[in-house]
Amino acid sequence: MTHLDSMVGKYSRTDRVYTKVRKVDNRVIGVRVKHPVTNDPPSAAQQTVQEKFLTIQAQVNTALADAEQKAALTAEWHKQRKCKTLRGYAFRKFYRQSSTPQNP
Number of Cβ within 10 Å of residue 74's Cβ equals: 13
- Separation of first and last alpha carbons in the chain: 60
Q: Look up the pTM and report it.
A: 0.59
Q: What is the DSSP letter of 83?
A: -
Q: Output the pLDDT for position 68.
A: 96
SS3 content of the chain, % helix, strand, coil (to 5): 50, 15, 35
pLDDT at residue number 9: 60
Which residues neighbour 93 within 8 Å (Cβ) at sequence distance 6 or greater?
73, 76
For 31, phi and psi rounded to 5 degrees?
Answer: -135, 140
Per-residue pLDDT of the chain (104 residues; tens, 9 = 90+): 555 555 556 556 566 667 777 888 887 777 666 666 655 677 899 899 999 999 999 999 999 999 999 999 999 999 999 999 999 999 999 999 988 776 55
**One-letter amino acid for residue 51 of the chain:** E
Residue length of the chain:
104
